Amino acid sequence: MTDIAAAAAVPQISPAADARLMLAAAARWRWWEFAVWIAALAAIVVFPRNLLLLNEIAILALFALSLDLILGFAGIVSLGHAAFFGVGAYAAGLLGKFGYGDPFLGLAAAAAVAAVLGFATSFLLLRGSDLTRLMVTLGIALMLLELANREAWLTGGADGLQGVTIGPVLGLFDFDLSGRTAYLYSLGVLFVLFLLARRIIHSPFGLSLRAVKQNPLRARAIGISVAVRLVAIYTLSAAFAGVAGALSAQTTQYVSLEVFDFIRSADVMLVLVLGGVGYLYGGIFGALIFKLMQDYLSAITPQYWQFWIGLVLVILVLAGRERIGAQLTRLFAPLLRWRRA
């Protein structure tokens, strides 16, 4: 009896409690995380001339975050994530066109449509190699592109979706020309969804996802249902991407076929890799680096900025992105306190 009581008094001995402690430790906010979000908010005052660009960064960050959920935490590679961005954009755009311009209604509809598509297509990804997954995701995005091109009566075809009118946010704040409302709106949505993603990743579910990513066979052996987890995270990721698409449609009040483009899927993967895979902030940092680079380089050489992006990518892979990541983590380890012993 006394032995058991003593054991209960020392928390480390119960494995469940230990896991809970570990999760809590990993989920704790670090100071630099606060800094990121404060900086994002402060940008409104510091860079009042670049709010439109900041808005694009916030949307791209959300899109990359959605990819991080499947790539970074479940190991699913995708070359067709634009499919979800695109259906989200068209869902919100069409609602706006037919008189239901409330921004949050658009977001909800986009998330729902994208989630349904994600759920339905997730079953195609359960088996097969990386290559098969790349091709299936790519194929789905391309089919949607063709479909949107063909059903011009609904989507506007190659001319794009015209006449999208979006009401004021919360019924109060109109989207203005300078892009302030747009940026605050997108940033707010990004923040809320980020919190949600962070909560999920640091939950027992998130932990089991990591087990699946590292070794599906072993995960299955210890009783984790791999398929259920993959379907769930893929659906969630699709919903996130759909919201990113909706933000883009609402803040530009325009949707074109480019939302489904292969280049968009490739870019978002690039963005995520630039920022680093598997720690949630990769999308945000990647979007920032990518867009600033694009803006800066295309100001110097409008035609050829892609060359430099390509070069960065090549160097990144050759130098070994994991190695770079590990080096950086070690360098900043005292600051980050990423893992607690």
In the region spanning residues 251 to 270, those forming contacts with another protein, defined by CB under 8 A, are 252-254, 256-258, 262-263, 266, 269-270
Q: Quote the DSSP letter at residue 230.
A: H
Q: Is 66 in the site for another protein (CB under 8 A)?
A: no
Q: Which parts of 74-103 interact with another protein (CB under 8 A)?
A: 77, 79
Binding residue for another protein (CB under 8 A) from 44, 116, 211, 289? 44
Q: Which parts of 172-211 interact with another protein (CB under 8 A)?
A: 172-174, 176-181, 184, 188, 191-192
Report the distance separating Cα 210 and Cα 76, nearest Å: 12
Do residues 168 and 174 touch, judged by C-beta distance below 8 A?
Answer: yes
Q: Which parts of 298-317 interact with another protein (CB under 8 A)?
A: 298, 302-307, 309-314, 316-317
Q: Is 119 in the site for another protein (CB under 8 A)?
A: no
Q: Is 140 in the site for another protein (CB under 8 A)?
A: yes
DSSP 40-84: HHHHHHH-GGGHHHHHHHHHHHHHHHHHHHHHHHH----S-THHH
Report the distance separating Cα 60 and Cα 66, nearest Å: 10
For the CB of residue 78, give the shortest distance to another protein in the complex, in Å.
10
Judged by CB under 8 A, how many residues of this single chain contact another protein? 80
SS3 (DSSP) at 90: helix
DSSP 231-276: HHHHHHHHHHHHHHHHHHHHHHT-B-GGGG-HHHHHHHHHHHHHH-
Q: Is 246 in the site for another protein (CB under 8 A)?
A: no
Q: Is 58 in the site for another protein (CB under 8 A)?
A: no
Complex with another protein: residue 26 or 180, whichever CB lies closer: 180
Q: Is 39 in the site for another protein (CB under 8 A)?
A: no
Complex with another protein: residue 21 or 191, whichever CB lies closer: 191
Report the distance separating Cα 240 and Cα 73, nearest Å: 15
For the CB of residue 153, give the shortest distance to another protein in the complex, in Å.
12
Q: Is 52 in the site for another protein (CB under 8 A)?
A: yes
Non-local CB neighbours of 237 within 8 Å, separated by 6+ positions: 66, 67, 69, 70, 81, 84, 118
Q: Is 23 in the site for another protein (CB under 8 A)?
A: no
Question: Given the rule CB under 8 A, which of 150-158, 203-211, 217-225, 285-293 is the region that contacts another protein?
Answer: 150-158
